[in-house]
Structure 1
Amino acid sequence: MLGAIGLDEGQESAYRALVALGAAETADLAHRLTLPVPQTERTLRHLERQGLAARSSARPGRWVAAPPGVALGALLNRQRQELEQAELAAELLAREYRAEAEGAGAAVSDLVEVVTGAGAVAHRFHQIQLGAEREVCALASARPLVVSGMENEPTEEQAAVRGVAYRVVIERDVLGLPTGIREASTALVRGERVRVTGRVPTSLVIADRTLAMVPLTARGTEPAALVVHASGLLDSLLGLFEAIWRESVPLRLGATGAPEESDGFPDATDLEILTLLLAGMTDASVAKHLELGLRTVQRRVKGLMELAGVTTRLQLGWHAYERGWVAR
């Protein structure tokens, strides 16, 4: 928890133990932490440099903890000041970059960059999202090149906390993955807008309509991706995303707070079943992912058809849209 102010796990444990004890000999603290005495001594000296611990003037070899409210508050203030200075430097650099581009004209090589290697691709993928201020648009394949949906969840959560909106189109096969339904449900709970389509042509992420990333290689080869800055190519990628978004089916799951059962309106489970069927899943797949019996799913679909006054599933899809049960 204190990693943000420069403490590693061992240093945080030592400070917490020292706070709990109030004061302790180096050997006693080493025993409590089950660490060698020399390592504990080095840790205490680091805490001393951070202003979190001090040597006792009354008893040599004894260490006392600095009051957390004062010591941690000072470190946090220093971190805030450093972040403010970094933000100012970034803004100045951005202005210089824009001025240079406007004055000299951006070269083609400045508009795209190639990132090679799994680690580099994953790092850039997360970086683009964490740098977004307003919106992230994404196409999610069932066969991600480097980062899976579950691996990307912490990044999406951090962006969501900052107020970044997400619009995501996922392939139908994503819902068939072992964690697909759970990941989609978690995204909806975070407030993301999720839609489903049969197949996306490529994985894609776009941040604030100014920066995009698209894979260059297929699975089985060394991962590589293209990072695209503001250009005609970026406009084309934006157009591709918007076209797929318009033609995709909105995903609605019970965990998002679907309407409760009322006269003439499907209940939450019915809406989940209907949404997944409209996304192209089979009755058996829906039953498996919602942990329902196959006959239960089929019975509920039949009830929906009776409620809508239709005789075919095709008609049910149309009436579901007309009656506002699902959105297009």
Structure 2
Amino acid sequence: MLAALGLGPAEEEIYCLLVGRCGSSALELAAECGRPPAEVLRLLTALAERGLAVAARSDSAARTATRFTAAPPAVALGGELRRRRDELRTAELAVLALSEQHRTAAAAGSLVEVITDVDAVRHRFLQLQESARHEVRSMMVPALAVVPPHRNPAEKAGVRRGVRYRTIVQRAALNEPGMVGQALAALADGQQVAVADEVPVKLMIADRELAMLPLLPGRNTAAASVLVHAGGLLEALVAYFELAWESAYPLSMNTAGDDIEETRDDRIDELDARILGLLLSGLTDQAAAGQLGISRRTLQRRLGELMARAGAESRIQLGWLAVRKGWA
């Protein structure tokens, strides 16, 4: 019970016996505890040296007859208790600091994992999907060779577990043999698929825990990959995907269910389309407004709204984006 304060089992036993008495000799305590008088005397002397007992012996009395009285526990042990508490608190703070240092070092060391072996890449690609509990986000480029879409059993298993799949496909990939069928099967399974004119990097993200992308720039179809663990870098990849998803065009099955079609939610109304057409043909704001029967201020307001919607910083850029989006 008092070992934490530096008392051995024998010292604690004698001290506890002494506390319950007004005063006792080594002989009396030895008779009660069954230890030899000489050993009890040695223990009592040690307690007295530590301030836990007080000896009262006359010159004529035998040493074993010396009477000892216990010092008040709150006084005798209180100081030691406080000292030990301070030491433990200091040790606790040191452990916390070391733990934080270790966590930071471990996180930095395991944030990015490089994988070059093709079999290891395939294994980790499947593992990443198997680890997903909520959602898998992916970006698909043409000419996938390491893990072709039709050789991805983890995808169907994930869908059966209730994992949400969202995929952005580069438009050129849909021209590859069997890709439209793959897209139709994914849509039939409840997956969400969108198409973009360009997908700059092959990417897959499982929840907010893991992401996988090519190791080298411009090598989207090579095996060498980087596995990114949870952290700031992964959050940036998630944000990048969400921005790309917002600008991609959702795919859906046609009414016959044998082909896919794009849903373009960014279509503009007829008046905006006519404004763009006239301005792209070279008319001035005043001339275009006159042909449309609207004021120049209305034309400029609507043109400003189109620029904001397209994310254009100039009319020249708006013209380029309008053609790309099919607005004009």
TM range (shorter): 0.3 to 0.5
Q: Bigger radius of gyration, 1 or 2?
A: 2
TM-score (norm 2): 0.47
TM-score (norm 1): 0.47
